[in-house]
Amino acid sequence: MPQLETFYEVMRRQGITRRSFLKYCSLTAAALGLGPTYAPQIAHAMETKQRTPVLWLHGLECTCCSESFIRSAHPLVKDVVLSMISLDYDDTLMASAGHQAEAILEETIQKYKGEYILAVEGNPPLNEDGMFCIVGGKPFLDQLKHAAKDAKAVIAWGSCASWGCVQAARPNPTQAVPIHKVITDKPIIKVPGCPPIAEVMTGVITYMLTFGKLPELDRQGRPKMFYGQRIHDKCYRRPHFDAGQFVEEWDDEGARKGYCLYKVGCKGPTTYNACSTVRWNEGISFPIQAGHGCIGCSEDGFWDKGSFYERLSNIPQFGIEKNADEIGTAVAGAVGTAIAAHAAVSAVKRATAKGDQE
Amino acid sequence: MSDELKQRKQTAVYVYEAPLRLWHWVTVFSIVTLCVTGYFIGSPLPSQPGEAIDNYLMGYIRFAHFTAGYILAIAFIGRIYWAFVGNSHARELFLVPLFSGKWWKEVGHELRWYLFLEKTPRKYIGHNPLGQLAMFFFFVLGNTFMIFTGFALYGEGLGAGSWADQWFGWIIPMMGQSQDVHTWHHLGMWYLITFVMIHVYVAIREDIMSRQSLISTMVGGWRMFKDDRPD
């Protein structure tokens, strides 16, 4: 493998002082929930480890993950992460284009066989042999399989790569599928969200580069450190939920007082993400703080659960979309009517059959 | 069983032992509590006035729901235990003779009785076959489903790594995501409500129209037969 600079060398070259570097290490340790004792370990890793080449592919997506990523709040984190990964191929960020760009992709795959990390933003559509997403003249599906074959690990950026997101929402005409349906033989770390939080993205990369392994994942393949709790669990409006104080409609007294948005459809109780702790844009705010319920963008199939402004999910299997209560009341009503009718017939039968009884 | 019955001269049989009856009424209490509180968790009551610190309505509702859920689940485990150590009637809920032709014929008879096509029902010491079938599919399966999905959702609140998460957390990805489990759990409530409606109606109707006691049996344990004619 060709000699690459270490992270530390890159940082020093960029004019980052040792003092700032060590600060960064402790900040990262804190952000990853590792505690202060891990800071020297991170520093040591960064001083000795070579940069890891990363290939960043784009399938069917909107680039919101990239947009989020380059806005990582702590400027040092952004600089460091962007320079510490050797981002060899990222068609939206790289300078080269066309054949030159595609050549770099090929070169990286050959040069760092089994060493590079594959980051995938977006997902492949399977319908019509993948013709709904063409990269460099070929279906993205082929590029994805090709690049995944020799990757060390795969990161699924955002809800597209993790779950399918909007292009996989019903009726999914292009048959877009999350990448784990195509890549089955590599460890995949899912970083869902539409987009994922910038600090979560950089945090995941930092962890992988520092420790040379995947962070601890939950059952669905998401890093526990960022997706271990629901928005609801750490929501600052939670006391209003427990108190039974809700925004009943937009702009009512409750909305002005900052009550819980549960009744206007907040998906915080069913959404695993770090928004209510890490927040967005340098920790300024997050949807609930801005007065809008969580739409559950980091959850599987969140487009297909009905209105963002209603608490109960739509169930489309019954022709017309209904929620559980509407279906339940209809069934209970029908059964109630049947019982009443049956009781009436029974009473008549009994009255007429009275003579038979001894 | 019908052969046995033919020779039987006694008019009362001790069917439901005390632990089983206790379980029945504990379950009734739990299910009523769970349905009411569960409904209000899905569609909360109007906003409470005053400061958050002076109110804890949702907290109390959820507490009642979780407590009733625990009671229901523990009682159900006790009920399964009782199926092993109790009398033969304690096993009827769990062991449905789905491969017995004779049993299915009796299901047919009971169905015809409910469709007013039979003049007289048969006598049964325990459940009639149709009742047994309904108890299994509506109640045993429905209740198990609610306990599993319920504790999966409860595990989300307790947090990753909690006992409920370890035991039941796998249900969440199996059904899609948390919101899907909520929806299924909610539909499960209506499934059980439908069961309760039919169960109560049939119990009252059978108490009046069949040849044995129903309601008083679940209170006192004794099955009374109203006539001495064979089965």
pLDDT in tens, A118-167: 999 999 999 999 999 998 889 999 999 999 999 999 999 999 999 999 99
β-bridge partners, A85: A52
User: Closest partner residue to B176 among A262, A300, A349, by Cβ?
Assistant: A300
Instruction: Give the least confident one: A4-8, A100-104, A221-225, B11-15.
Output: A4-8
- Residue A7 burial class via C-beta count within 10 angstroms: exposed 0-12, middle 13-18, buried 19 and up: buried
- Count CB neighbours of A74 within 10 A: 19
Q: What is the pTM of this model?
A: 0.89
Q: Cβ contacts of residue A333 below 8 Å, gap of 6+? A: none
CA distance B163 to B165: 5
CB contact under 8 Å between B178 and A270, yes or no, is: yes
Chain-centroid distance of CA A235 in Å reads: 18
Q: Is the pLDDT of residue B55 over 80?
A: yes
Q: Is the pLDDT of residue A75 over 60?
A: no
Q: Is B195 part of any domain?
A: yes
Helix (H, G, I), strand (E, B) or coil at A322: strand
Q: Which is it for the CA torsion A68, A71, A76, A80, positive or negative?
A: positive
How far does A210 lie from chain B, in Å, by closest CA? Answer: 25
End-to-end CA, chain A = 99
- Residue B180 burial class via C-beta count within 10 angstroms: exposed 0-12, middle 13-18, buried 19 and up: buried
CA distance A167 to A183: 19
B144-171 pLDDT, tens per residue?
Answer: 999 999 999 999 999 989 999 999 999 9
Q: Which is it for the CA torsion B79, B83, B84, B88, positive or negative?
A: positive
Q: Is B119 part of any domain?
A: yes
- The answer to whether B3 touches B210, Cβ cutoff 8 Å, is no
How far does B113 lie from chain A, in Å, by closest CA? Answer: 10
Chain-centroid distance of CA A358 in Å reads: 73
Neighbouring C-alpha atoms within 13 Å toward the C-beta of A221: 23
Written as six digits, the tokens of A263 are 């009744």
- The answer to whether B41 touches B61, Cβ cutoff 8 Å, is yes
Helix (H, G, I), strand (E, B) or coil at B61: helix
CB contact under 8 Å between B197 and A219, yes or no, is: no
Written as six digits, the tokens of B31 are 């299910």
Q: Is B231 part of any domain?
A: no
Please name the amino acid found at residue A247: V
B200-210 pLDDT, tens per residue?
Answer: 999 999 888 88
- Which residue, among A342, A348, A352, would best test binding to B if mutated, counting the most B CBs under 10 Å from its CB? A342
Written as six digits, the tokens of B12 are 């009362």
Q: How confident is the model at residue A1 (pLDDT cuts 50, 70, 90)?
A: very low
- Alpha-carbon distances, residue A229 vs A29, A275, B88 (angstroms): 19, 10, 47
Any long-range contacts for A27-32 (C-beta under 8 Å, 24+ apart)? A27/A74, A27/A76, A27/A77, A28/A77, A28/A203, A28/A206, A28/A210, A31/A199, A31/A203, A32/A203, A32/A206, A32/A207, A32/A215, A32/A225
Instruction: Give the least confident one: A101-105, A195-199, B159-163.
Output: A101-105
CA distance A246 to A240: 7
Helix (H) or strand (E) holding A86: strand A85-90
For residue B230, is the peptide bond before it cis, meaning its omega torsion is within 30 degrees of 0?
A: no
Q: Is the pLDDT of residue A351 over 70?
A: yes
CB contact under 8 Å between B172 and A219, yes or no, is: yes
Q: Is B120 part of any domain?
A: yes
β-bridge partners, A125: A176
Question: Chains A and B: how many Cβ contacts under 8 Å?
Answer: 133
**CATH code, domain carrying B195:** 1.20.950.20
User: What are residue A67's phi and psi, to 5 degrees?
Assistant: -60, -45
Helix (H, G, I), strand (E, B) or coil at B95: coil
How far does B83 lie from chain A, in Å, by closest CA? Answer: 31
Residue of chain B minimizing CA distance to A229: B159
Q: What is the mean pLDDT of residues B203-229?
A: 85
CA distance B88 to B75: 19
Q: Cβ contacts of residue A238 below 8 Å, gap of 6+? A: A232, A260
Q: Cβ contacts of residue B63 below 8 Å, gap of 6+? A: none
DSSP 8-state symbol, A5: -
What percentage of chain A's residues is helix, strand, coil (to nearest 5)?
50, 15, 40
Nearest-10 crossing angle of helices A198-211, A39-48:
70
CB contact under 8 Å between B183 and A313, yes or no, is: yes
B76-129 pLDDT, tens per residue?
Answer: 999 999 999 999 999 999 999 989 999 999 999 999 988 988 888 888 888 889
- The answer to whether A246 touches A240, Cβ cutoff 8 Å, is yes
CA distance A35 to A39: 8
User: Closest partner residue to A311 among B42, B61, B194, by Cβ?
Assistant: B42
CB contact under 8 Å between A259 and B56, yes or no, is: no
Q: Is B230 part of any domain?
A: no
Instruction: Give the least confident one: A167-171, A215-219, B125-129, B183-187.
Output: B125-129
CB contact under 8 Å between A324 and B209, yes or no, is: no
β-bridge partners, B13: B223
- The answer to whether A245 touches A238, Cβ cutoff 8 Å, is no
Question: ipTM of this predicted complex?
Answer: 0.88
Picking from B73, B66, B74, B86, the residue whose alpha carbon sits closest to that of residue B20 is B86
Q: What secondary structure does DSSP assign to B102-127, as a single string?
A: HHHHHHHHHHHHHTT--SSPPP-SS-
Q: Which is it for the CA torsion A120, A123, A129, A134, positive or negative?
A: negative
Q: Cα–Cα–Cα angle for A353, A355, B2, nearest 5°?
A: 70
CB contact under 8 Å between A239 and B59, yes or no, is: no
How far does A142 lie from chain B, in Å, by closest CA? Answer: 28
Count of structural domains within chain B? 1
Chain-centroid distance of CA B84 in Å reads: 18
A278-322 pLDDT, tens per residue?
Answer: 899 888 999 999 999 999 999 999 999 989 999 888 887 766 678
Task: Look up the domain containing B197 and give its range.
Answer: 2-46+53-224
Helix (H) or strand (E) holding A243: helix A238-243
Q: Is the pLDDT of residue A96 over 60?
A: yes
Written as six digits, the tokens of A87 are 């981002």
